[in-house]
Amino acid sequence: MAAAPSTPLLKDELDIVIPTIRNLDFLEMWRPFFQPYHLIIVQDGDPTKVIKVPEGFDYELYNRNDVNRILGPKASCISFKDSACRCFGYMVSKKKYIYTIDDDCFVAKDPSGKDINALEQHIKNLLSPSTPFFFNTLYDPYREGADFVRGYPFSLREGAPTAVSHGLWLNIPDYDAPTQLVKPLERNNRYVDAVLTIPKGTLFPMCGMNLAFDRELIGPAMYFGLMGDGQPIGRYDDMWAGWCTKVITDHLSLGIKTGLPYIWHSKASNPFVNLKKEYNGIFWQEELIPFFQSVTLSKEATTVQKCYLELAKQVKAKLGKVDGYFNKLADAMVTWIEAWDELNPPKGAITTTNSPAVKSK
Ligand SMILES: O=c1ccn([C@@H]2O[C@H](COP(=O)(O)OP(=O)(O)O[C@H]3O[C@@H](CO)[C@H](O)[C@H]3O)[C@@H](O)[C@H]2O)c(=O)[nH]1
Ligand SMILES: [Mn+2]
């Protein structure tokens, strides 16, 4: 097992958010890389179930009772019985950076056989600029041993601040149910040693399994849409967040990177269950994508919250006719921003603080 870096980068500026319904034994494998960091565990499902966390990790844990206690009626915007609940962890964090990972994701090995410190790579991705305005054909120009290629405008070489780092997965790929059903044995064994900026004006399917972001730059846009219990759709929470986030980062001239790091995704969720969850999404996304491609935000939308509220209005106006669910989702987007601002008042604002989470050492 590789030794973790001596002085962990951003040790006190980054929280690791884990949505879970099971004991977190998977942390044993991540211990060298994760132990120095604070964890925010969002326990989904039955709040009376006790989630076991290995000794030695510094964490806070929130179950549904905590979500309801802290948010009151606004808890309605946080999904129940779906990994989308993880976004509650983004809201209660006080740190500048977030890394979120699923509890069936383990340490992968690079082609040399070395354990991949996914967190370290995400931090590198976030701390170096993105190039959304002009594509660099030699991939990440800020990486050791690479640079901007001939013809790349010097006026654009400063790049843009990186808001999101989207990692990938070896072994079980993040396929939708139809693809999973057709290719049940397919595994992703291809390690591509590259980090790319997703060009401005291009959407992408954001997976929440191995994802990091700058909470201060883009946090309020990272609402994982209403899924799970009582909802007509599932497994589109991260997709929704990714589409909203991308139109906002484009508008605010921020960047999103995808590629390294890889994690090892250990198990495929049930494709038949997934098909039921995804069915409406597979159908609706043919209308959602043109909607997001045509979204324009006003020049008055100068903060993520303002962008997000403008977006929520357009969702209600233009997607409500696709299905009533989008009216509910648009309202939940507004509730999310209200809750976010309540828990994250501008610095210096005086507020009544909510009682703290169940803290465990
Ligand atoms: O009701 C639930 C089910 C699961 N979780 C936790 O969420 C993650 C992901 O669960 P799992 O690995 O079983 O599901 P996947 O299909 O592989 O998840 C990926 O698909 C997307 C679904 O939206 C998502 O972006 C990916 O995570 C685990 O940590 C479970 O413990 C839950 O909280 N509630
Ligand atoms: Mn999984």
Does residue 20 have its Cβ closer than 6 Å to ligand 1? yes
* pLDDT of 356: 47
Query: Any residues with CB less than 8 A from the CB of 9 and at least 6 apart, and which?
Result: 120, 123, 124, 127
CA–CA distance, 249 with 263 (Å, rounded to integer): 25
* pLDDT of 346: 82
CA–CA distance, 289 with 280 (Å, rounded to integer): 14
Q: Tell me the sheet residues that pair with 171.
A: 188, 265
Ligand 1 atom nearest to CA at 103: 29
Ligand 1 atom nearest to CA at 44: 33
Q: Tell me the sheet residues that pair with 38.
A: 15, 58
CA–CA distance, 136 with 156 (Å, rounded to integer): 11
348 phi and psi angles, rounded to 5 deg: 95, -15
Does residue 269 have its Cβ closer than 6 Å to ligand 1? yes
Tokens of 236: 């589109």
257 phi and psi angles, rounded to 5 deg: -110, 150
Tokens of 300: 């008055």
Ligand 1 atom nearest to CA at 265: 17
Instruction: Pick the residue whose CA is nearest to atom 25 on ligand 1.
Output: 208
Q: Please identify every stretch of the chain with a pLDDT value under 50, giving residue numbers as ranges.
A: 354-356, 358-361
User: Which numbered ligand comes closest to the C-alpha of 174?
Assistant: 1
Q: Is the preceding omega at residue 346 within 30 degrees of 0, hence cis? A: no
- Contact assessment for residue 81 and residue 64, using Cβ atoms and an 8 Å cutoff: no
**Å from CA of 52 to ligand 2 middle:** 19
| Alpha helix (H) residue ranges in the chain | 27-34, 64-71, 87-92, 118-127, 177-182, 215-218, 237-251, 271-294, 304-319, 325-343
CA–CA distance, 308 with 140 (Å, rounded to integer): 29
**Å from CA of 265 to ligand 2 middle:** 6
Does residue 82 have its Cβ closer than 6 Å to ligand 1? yes
Does residue 22 have its Cβ closer than 6 Å to ligand 1? yes
**Å from CA of 15 to ligand 2 middle:** 20
CA–CA distance, 20 with 171 (Å, rounded to integer): 21
* pLDDT of 347: 77
Does residue 268 have its Cβ closer than 6 Å to ligand 1? no
| Structure ipTM | 0.97
User: Which numbered ligand comes closest to the C-alpha of 44?
Assistant: 1
CA–CA distance, 273 with 35 (Å, rounded to integer): 34
Pick from 37, 41, 59: nearest CA to 49: 41
**Å from CA of 19 to ligand 1 middle:** 7
Residue type, 164: V
The reported pTM is 0.95
Does residue 280 have its Cβ closer than 6 Å to ligand 1? no
Query: Any residues with CB less than 8 A from the CB of 94 and at least 6 apart, and which?
Result: 15
Token pair 């139809």 is found at: 178
Does residue 19 have its Cβ closer than 6 Å to ligand 1? yes
Pick from 329, 148, 123: nearest CA to 223: 329
Does residue 266 have its Cβ closer than 6 Å to ligand 1? no
Tokens of 268: 């495929």
Instruction: Pick the residue whose CA is nearest to atom 26 on ligand 1.
Output: 209
CA–CA distance, 120 with 129 (Å, rounded to integer): 16
Which of 78, 83, 166 is the best mutation target for the ligand 1 pocket, counting ligand atoms within 8 Å of the beta carbon and taking the most? 83
CA–CA distance, 159 with 200 (Å, rounded to integer): 12
Does residue 15 have its Cβ closer than 6 Å to ligand 1? no
DSSP state of 195: E
Token pair 């915007």 is found at: 77
Pick from 69, 70, 51: nearest CA to 61: 51
* pLDDT of 273: 96
CA–CA distance, 226 with 241 (Å, rounded to integer): 10
Largest CA distance in the chain: 60
Q: Which domains does the chain have, with CATH numbers?
A: 14-343 (3.90.550)
**Å from CA of 157 to ligand 1 middle:** 38
- Contact assessment for residue 39 and residue 10, using Cβ atoms and an 8 Å cutoff: no
Tokens of 7: 């002085």
